[in-house]
Amino acid sequence: MSQTEQYRRVGKFELHELIGEGAMGVVWKAYDSVIRRYVALKLLSRAGRSTDAQDRFMREARAAGALQHPNIVTIYDLGESDQQLFIAMELVDGRDLSSLIAVSEPLALERKLDIVIEVLQGLSYAHERGVIHRDVKPSNVRIASDGSVKIMDFGIARLQSADVTGSGAIVGTPTYMAPEQITNGAITPATDIFAVGCLLYELLAYHKPFEGETVHGVLYQVLTTDPKPLRTMAPSIPAALERVVGKALNKVPEERFETARQMQSALFSIRAALSGASDTTERLSLRWTPIPSAVLRLVTHAPIKWRAAVLTALMVTALVLLYVSRSPSPVAAPFPDAALTGATLDQLLTYPVPAHLNAALVAQRDSALAARERAGRAGAMKNNVPSLILAETVVQNAERALRTGDLARAASGYLSAIPQYVKAQAEAEALRRDAEQAIARATPVVHALATRPEAGRAATSLARADSLYLAMDYVVSRLAALDAEQVGVAAGVAPPSPQPPEARAAIAVLLQDLERAVSSERVGNLQVLMPGMAEQDVAAWQAFFERYKQLTARYGVERLSTRADTAYAMVRTLYLYVPTDGGAQRETRLRQAIRFIRTANGWRIANIRQAP
């Protein structure tokens, strides 16, 4: 058997060594038999061949393939072979930054700054071409053997110019996610800057800025709390560096660095000061002058009469410019352009409305503002729902147009804003229902904990969820409730939730309870939901719980039919788990037929069988 025949092939690539596994698929060290070079070959997992997974995989290639930069892993090829999608990438020999942090590698402060500066260099290049990474974290930063830095995995990157899909899914890594990612806000370059702030904090302190016992606990921390002051974790770092990290971690995107290049410049200044700097201090010295150095040399070496003439000419020019800049415009708008341009919508609404507007325009404006008020009462502003951003921008522009006399543009803006506010109201009401359901599901879990050690923490999270719900902060309320629920599930507690009277809604709640029972890794919790479970099924689940941990189950209903006290569903099932003896996360996808029955305690599962 020849050397090439010993390896499994995908098209022209020979798979030599498995070097990574993740939610999106696997990465192999592979040999390109045509160009004759080694590459990192990313394959979409066979088990995860959903349309969404394929779209994300292709999006990674399109976004990253357009980027050619020394600090970004190069994409060589993209295609499909043997029913498998693949991306062939540059194979970078080295270590991930996460592995250096994990062992608290003793790196000099200058080296740490150099690494982050190179990351920002690559991100700046990507941002200028409309690509946002969305998942910057230490495991996606590769330190090559020659010391260079490479950003990897634009797997959830989105072209800024692309349309928003509206899937509503939160993608990213919780510890490094910006608040706007969690709340489905606008994703901008500032989102990546927040992640770089988290990465830099962790690299300096060897401690994550946001930590929690559950995923939802981490998300809650990101939204509501500030990390510990960096200099309490790493006392030797300069105060200026702590300020840079703090600015990057600001929860308000507009308060962070405007660009990756701006943050890079701030770190450059600190880096230069650490090495005894040069051009930075020179630029800031008191000898700075706005006159170009070449002109200054000519003036300083010229005769005294010429110097006087030049200085007089400069003075006259400055006075003329000052006079022109202060002269009023020959045609003044009803309001100064600067005042209108810089005003927020709430400020614009306090400005007087021009007199003698036609009744139709006034009615359109009143309808738009009434829709805005209804959205506000539903919690759209408090929860920053996606449709609100567009509606507010449209009305803001309409208010400016109204005050500058562009009445046609104002009328068009008011009309187009109304359906956006209606949509924003619906989105806020959906968030309210989600928070309400999360609290309803967490309540029996917290009560079932009784006097266990975990009860206090779960009760605190649930009380916080109730308080936030009353304050209409539905996104954070839901996270607090989910945190309370996860505390109970981790302790093995997963009682049934209250079920609504309508059969379909009740079965949806029952399947959520089934997901929670599987995550609890307790057969007893499954038996409550499946009272007729056979002995062999009990033994099979018990053996499964002994072999695997970190279980997650997801049940998606394809079809559901109900008749009196019986219901039948065809369900897509996903199990995620990790072997007890170690290894990467695995997944199993099934298609199952489930029969439900109505009992005195609500709907329960009669049986589950494999479907073709």
pLDDT surpassing 90 at residue 566: yes
Alpha-carbon dihedral 68, 73, 79, 84, rounded to 10 degrees: -170
pLDDT surpassing 50 at residue 389: yes
Q: What was the pLDDT predicted at 49?
A: 53
Q: What was the pLDDT predicted at 68?
A: 81
The phi-psi region of residue 76 (left if phi > 0; otherwise alpha if psi is between -120 and 50; otherwise beta) is alpha
As given in the structure block, the two tokens for residue 486 are: 């996860």
Question: Per this entry, what is the length of the chain?
Answer: 612
Q: Which residues is 87 bridged to in the sheet?
A: 42, 78
Least confident of 247-256, 400-409, 563-572: 400-409
Q: What was the pLDDT predicted at 309?
A: 54
pLDDT surpassing 60 at residue 204: yes
Q: Show me where the domains of the chain are located.
A: 4-89, 95-282, 294-321, 333-493, 507-612
Fold topology of 4-89? Phosphorylase Kinase; domain 1 (3.30.200)
Q: Is 507-612 a CATH 3.10.450.50 domain?
A: yes
Q: What was the pLDDT predicted at 207?
A: 93
pLDDT tens figures, 261-315? 999 989 988 887 886 644 433 333 333 344 444 444 444 444 554 455 545 555 6
| DSSP tag of 354 | P
Q: What was the pLDDT predicted at 281?
A: 36
Cα separations in angstroms, 426 against 166, 168, 421, 431, 465: 14, 14, 9, 9, 21
Q: What percent of the chain has pLDDT over 90?
A: 32
pLDDT surpassing 70 at residue 52: no
Residue 551: pLDDT band (50, 70, 90) is confident
pLDDT tens figures, 76-113? 887 777 777 788 888 888 888 999 999 888 888 989 99
Predicted TM-score (pTM) of this structure: 0.63
pLDDT tens figures, 593-612? 999 999 988 999 999 998 87
pLDDT surpassing 80 at residue 432: yes
CB 445 within 8 A of CB 493: yes
pLDDT tens figures, 319-371? 544 443 444 433 334 555 556 677 888 888 888 888 888 889 999 999 999 99
Gap between the Cα atoms of 254 and 185, Å rounded? 13
**Range 95-282: architecture per CATH:** Orthogonal Bundle (1.10)
CB 256 within 8 A of CB 250: yes
Q: Average pLDDT over the chain, rounded to whole?
A: 81
Q: What was the pLDDT predicted at 277?
A: 47
φ, ψ of residue 96 to 5 degrees: the values are -75, 150
